[in-house]
Each structure stands twice: as C-alpha cells, then as structure tokens.
C-alpha cells in the first residue's frame, strides 16, 4: 500500500509517501527544503497564497524522492481539520484534484490525531489504547485514544495554547521568535522556584488548561501594569532568567499534572505525546521521570515529528484499513468548534 499524505493546516506545506507498514519513502516540508529559491526568496510565513505556490512543487518533489509515480498510489490523504481555513483548503483542493484525476480514494485526516499518531510511527509498535497529549503553538489537548481511528477528546485549553504562552512570554522577555527554544535556554540559568506563578485548574477535577492568567502574572512581575515596549524594557538578566524558569516550570507542572490525571482516570498504561512543545526539554524530562515512577509506557514524538509534518499523516493507513474514505465534496473545518450543548 502507498499513500500520499498532504499537510497544510498552518505555516508548513508538507507531503509524504508512506507504505502500509508505516515505512516513510519520502517526506518534504517546504520551509526546510529551501523551496523558496524557486520563488525568488519570498516565502511569507503565513499565507494561503504561499501554500498555493508551494503545494505542487512539494508534492512533485515528494513523489520523485519516493521513486514512485502518482499512479502507484492507493490513496491520497490530507489534513482537513483543524487549521486556518484558507490554508486547509489549499491542501484539500490539491488532494481532491489528484483523487479525481487519478481515480484514487480520498482520506480526511485530523491534524491533532495525527500528532499523537507520530508516536505510533516512531515507536514502531502498537501504542493503542493510550492517553494522548497534543501540545503545540495552537493546541493543548488531551485525548483518550481507544484505537488508531477512535479518539475521544477529554479536554483542552480554554484560552491560550501552551506554545502560544511560551511565544508571548518570550516576546515580553525580548527573546526572538519562535519563543520556545530561546525561553528554555534562558530558563536553564534561572531559579524555577523564585516566582510562584499561577497553575490554573491544577487541583481541580476538570481536564482543562488555562495559560492566559499565567501570561498576565508574568507580565505584572516583569513590567507592572502600564503600557510598555517589551523590546526596550531594561530588566536585570538574572530576574529575566528567573522569570523564564519559573514560568516554564508552571507550564510544565500544569501539563504534567493534567496529563497524569487523565491517565489515572483512564486506567490505561500508555501515554503518547506530540506537538511542537513536546520538544521542550523540561517537559520531556519531567514526563519521563513521572512515567517511570508510575510504571507507564511513555512515547514522545521525536523532535522532527513534533513540529508540523506530513509523515504523521500516516494515520491514514489505519483509516484506509478501516475503510474510512471521504467523498470528494467534503469541506475542511477550521476550528475545534462546537456549538453550546445546552
């Protein structure tokens, strides 16, 4: 079995070819492949037009690298939710067009489920059933993953995603974007216990995250309440490092506490973690230690599968086996949006 997977939910335009045995024949991510040389050096970070410009060269390169032809494919998979609608639609239209022209079935992939499935790919073993944590710039969600095609959302952030909190606090500290790695580096020189920043919901039953109040608390500590230009703010370097360390500790404490709360309630013994923030060293180490102590099987996606990529779209292999195909008239769905249930 050969499946072409396409990813265009946010900034990256990516494609991969995977086999039924989850072997990756090719994986291309536009921003890493220096495709911008083909576009006169202009690659806007976030723009559906950028996806439009990149999607065909990315697919072409992926097929070439895989050493196959389009006709060899058994199906075409594309991430259709969640994401920015203008970006999602580009990947979806490309996938639909290929399906129509080649007479191949279409598989619609959930981008967040795919982030967890990255652990299945990297571990090379069946990780289901498991509790899944997706923690990234746009999302912080916990799932009960019954099997590779049945994911139950347990809860998520009610305001900022963890990665967003990292980026915004990094911005306040005058660090460059993306803030995660820079903030962690600064935090390594700081005292994580100096400031007692809030840890929302940590002692509550609800599986929820909130990082907005934490961000505000950091702001008060750093710059008070008035209008400030964070880029020109003069702050003692040790204070900065201590704030970074205390902030990072608060985020990690929340993520770890809620995750193990979910694991305990699920009575499962496997935990899978994916998404860009899963690259954070403190989070990885804390999860690893806690999992060891509890005798849990922990899988954290390797760094290259943490950030957006198309390889994790190999979850489509499971959908293919389950006969989960989509009609060519499906639409993409931008948000994790639900109407009020009352």
Look-up of token digits 């806007």: 44
Q: Taking the C-alpha atoms of 225, 227, 233 and 236 in order, what is their torsion angle to the nearest 10 degrees?
A: -10
Pick from 8, 49, 50: nearest CA to 28 = 8
The phi, psi pair for 307, rounded to 5°, reads: -75, 170
Is residue 336 a contact point for another protein (CB under 8 A)?
A: yes
Candidate list 8, 13, 157, 259; residue touching another protein; CB under 8 A:
157
Closest distance to another protein from the beta carbon of 216 (Å): 4
**Interaction of residue 54 with another protein, rule CB under 8 A:** no
Asked if 85 interacts with another protein (CB under 8 A), we say yes
Q: Which of 102, 235, 290, 334 binds another protein (CB under 8 A)?
A: 334
Task: Compare residues 132 and 138 and give the one whose CB is closer to another protein.
Answer: 138
Choose the stretch contacting another protein; rule: CB under 8 A; options: 40-48, 179-187, 254-262, 287-295: 40-48
Nearer Cβ to another protein, position 101 or 339?
A: 339
Q: How far apart are CA 197 and CA 217, in angstroms?
A: 7
Of positions 34, 40, 225, 267, contacts another protein by CB under 8 A: 225
Per-residue CA distances from 4 to 15, 16, 63, 190 (Å): 7, 6, 8, 45
Judged by CB under 8 A, which stretch of 25-33, 39-47, 243-251, 315-323 contacts another protein? 39-47
Provide φ and ψ at 35, rounded to 5°: -65, -20
Q: Are 279 and 287 within 8 A, CB to CB?
A: no
In whole angstroms, give the CA distance from residue 144 to residue 129.
8
Q: Least CB distance from residue 10 to another protein, whole Å?
A: 7
Residue ranges in contact with another protein by CB under 8 A: 10, 44-50, 82-86, 136-138, 155-161, 163-164, 167-168, 171-172, 208, 212, 215-216, 218-220, 225-228, 230, 334-341
């Amino acid at each position: 079995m050969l499946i072409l997977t396409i990813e265009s939910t946010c900034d990256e335009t990516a494609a991969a070819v995977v086999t039924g045995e989850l072997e990756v024949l090719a994986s291309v991510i536009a921003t890493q492949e220096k495709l911008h040389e083909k576009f006169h050096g202009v690659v806007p970070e976030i723009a559906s037009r950028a996806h439009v410009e990149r999607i065909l060269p990315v697919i072409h390169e992926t097929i070439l690298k895989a050493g196959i032809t389009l006709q060899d494919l058994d199906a075409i998979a594309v991430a259709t939710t969640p994401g920015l609608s203008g970006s999602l639609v580009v990947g979806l239209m490309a996938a639909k067009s290929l399906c129509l022209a080649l007479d191949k079935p279409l598989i619609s992939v959930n981008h967040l489920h795919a982030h967890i499935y990255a652990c299945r790919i990297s571990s090379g073993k069946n990780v289901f059933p498991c509790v899944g944590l997706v923690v990234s710039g746009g999302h912080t969600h916990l799932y009960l993953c019954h099997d590779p095609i049945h994911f139950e959302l347990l809860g998520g952030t009610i305001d900022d995603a963890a990665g967003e909190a990292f980026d915004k606090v990094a911005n306040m500290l005058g660090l460059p974007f993306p803030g995660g790695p820079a903030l962690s580096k600064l935090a390594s020189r700081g005292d994580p216990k100096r400031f007692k920043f809030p840890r929302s919901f940590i002692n509550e039953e609800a599986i929820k995250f909130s990082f907005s109040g934490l961000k505000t608390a950091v702001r008060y500590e750093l710059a008070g309440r008035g209008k400030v230009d964070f880029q020109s703010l003069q702050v003692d370097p040790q204070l900065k490092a201590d704030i970074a360390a205390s902030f990072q500790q608060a985020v990690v404490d929340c993520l770890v506490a809620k995750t193990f709360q979910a694991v305990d309630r699920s009575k499962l013994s496997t935990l899978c973690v994916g998404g860009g923030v899963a690259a954070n060293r403190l989070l990885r180490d804390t999860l690893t230690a806690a999992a060891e102590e509890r005798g849990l099987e922990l899988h954290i996606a390797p760094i290259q599968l943490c950030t957006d990529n198309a390889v994790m779209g190999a979850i489509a292999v499971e959908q293919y086996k389950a006969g989960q195909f989509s009609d060519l008239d499906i639409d993409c769905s931008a948000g994790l949006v639900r109407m009020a249930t009352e």
